[in-house]
Amino acid sequence: MTIATLIIAQHAGAATRQDLLEVMTRHALDAALRSGEIVRPRRGTYTLPIEDEALATAAELGVLLSHRTAALHHGWGVLHPPDEPEMVADRHRRIPRRPRCTVRYRDLTGHPDEGPATTPMRTVIDSARDLDLPESLAVADSALRAGHVTTDELSRAIPSLPRTGRARATLALEEATSLAANPFESGLRALAIGASGRIWQAQAEVRLRGGAVRHADVGCPELRIALEADSHEFHKTRADVRRDCRRYDEMILAGWLVLRFAWEHVMFDPDWVMEVIAWVVRQRAGMSHCGSLSLPRGMAVPSTVSA
């Protein structure tokens, strides 16, 4: 992954010229554009080239963009852009096998999908059924932030979910929230849920010593654990570093344990992220058992805490 694609990925699939020029020269940016490594769909905005390729393929095959490819088409952020364009075709059709695209089959009868992509609601539901939680939650959170679906609509969709993928989809739809600031935070929250259960909140409230309120990117108020998503996008200057140091130290003084994860950790080392979170939750749950903290509902206290 080059620096240009890295910054675009950290900005959920679309970065401005200013974002890129903060970490690379104009010459390097122009070279990345000429090589086709990145594209400029509109003035001042740079993305990865997947959508142009996907639109051409979908038109040729007579199918719809779906899942993360549809999410990008709708202007939402995703955690990982798909390696191949994702599409759906009606289950009664058979599409000739083609390289460089992933086609899934669905019953599209009676659905108001009018190309080139699935509707926002179908995009969220298909992603929730077929993708791992970090990917599907990033899509669902992004759709809610964009105002293209509502939490009520997602809740009403759960009883009619098909049996295949229902449990996976229900989890994603119930946990989705517009409070997550970006797909990075969504992915971190999903990993935390996978590591220790549904005890995590997006933008959890933290009350500091003097009464001021801050919000953890992801938090468990019962165990007072804060998970902070540290990316280049929000940590660029010494002033940012000073602000964050003070913020984290004040959270610790208020009794919170703060874990900081880089974007690369969530994207490329999720097993380690989950291991760290699970260990800390076990440790804090043991403290809860001793009476210093309240134990989250439904959490079993481990008999031992291992490193």
Whether residue 156 is found in the same domain as residue 62: yes
pLDDT 10s digits, 96-152 = 776 688 999 998 876 666 679 999 999 999 999 999 999 999 999 999 999 999 999
Structurally, how many domains does the chain consist of? 3
Nearest CA to 296 out of 224, 202, 195 is that of 224
Whether residue 212 is found in the same domain as residue 226: yes
Asked, for residue 103, whether it belongs to a domain, the answer is yes
Asked, for residue 294, whether it belongs to a domain, the answer is no
Spell out the residues 6+ positions from residue 229 whose beta carbon is closer than 8 angstroms to its own: 182, 184, 185, 188, 217, 218, 261, 263, 266
Q: Residue 91 — φ and ψ, nearest 5°?
A: -65, -15
Asked, for residue 261, whether it belongs to a domain, the answer is yes
Q: Give the C-alpha separation, 110 to 169, whole Å.
A: 21
Q: What pLDDT, on the 0 to 100 scale, is given for residue 297?
A: 60
Asked, for residue 259, whether it belongs to a domain, the answer is yes
pLDDT 10s digits, 242-272 = 888 999 999 999 999 999 999 999 999 999 9
| Res 281 pLDDT > 90 | yes
Q: Give the mean pLDDT of the chain.
A: 87
pLDDT band at 302 (very low <50, low <70, confident <90, very high): very low
Structure tokens at 301: 């206290």
Whether residue 65 is found in the same domain as residue 165: yes
Residue 201 burial (CB count, 10 A):
18
- End-to-end alpha-carbon separation of the chain, Å? 33
Q: Give the C-alpha separation, 239 to 248, whole Å.
A: 14
| Res 292 pLDDT > 70 | no
For 160, which DSSP code? G
State which of 144, 175, 206 marks the end of a domain. Answer: 175
Higher pLDDT residue, 259 or 303?
259
CATH number at residue 196: 3.40.960.10
Whether residue 142 is found in the same domain as residue 56: yes
Whether residue 170 is found in the same domain as residue 210: no
pTM here? 0.83
Q: Give yes or no for a contact between 272 and 265, defined as CB atoms under 8 angstroms apart.
A: yes
Structure tokens at 245: 């140091």
**287 torsion bin: left (phi>0), alpha (psi -120 to 50), beta (else):** alpha
Tell how strand 225-230 and strand 257-262 pair up: parallel
State which of 175, 193, 211 marks the end of a domain. Answer: 175
State which of 175, 192, 209 marks the end of a domain. Answer: 175
Whether residue 76 is found in the same domain as residue 170: yes
Q: Residue 213 — φ and ψ, nearest 5°?
A: -110, 130
Q: What pLDDT, on the 0 to 100 scale, is given for residue 303?
A: 43
pLDDT 10s digits, 21-60 = 888 899 989 898 888 888 887 788 888 776 667 888 888 8
∠ CA 38-39-41, nearest 5°, is: 150
| Res 286 pLDDT > 60 | yes
Q: Give yes or no for a contact between 284 and 223, defined as CB atoms under 8 angstroms apart.
A: yes
Of 82-86, 131-135, 178-182, the least confident: 82-86
Of 91-95, 173-177, 245-249, the least confident: 91-95
Give the 3-state secondary structure of residue 197. coil
Whether residue 252 is found in the same domain as residue 192: yes
Whether residue 92 is found in the same domain as residue 67: yes
Q: Residue 103 — φ and ψ, nearest 5°?
A: -110, 125
Sign of CA dihedral 168, 173, 14, 261: negative
Higher pLDDT residue, 55 or 285?
285
Whether residue 71 is found in the same domain as residue 97: yes
Asked, for residue 231, whether it belongs to a domain, the answer is yes
Asked, for residue 280, whether it belongs to a domain, the answer is yes
Asked, for residue 69, whether it belongs to a domain, the answer is yes
Give the 3-state secondary structure of residue 270. helix
Q: Give the C-alpha separation, 268 to 81, whole Å.
A: 13
Give the 3-state secondary structure of residue 152. helix
* Domain that residue 73 falls in: 49-175
Asked, for residue 167, whether it belongs to a domain, the answer is yes
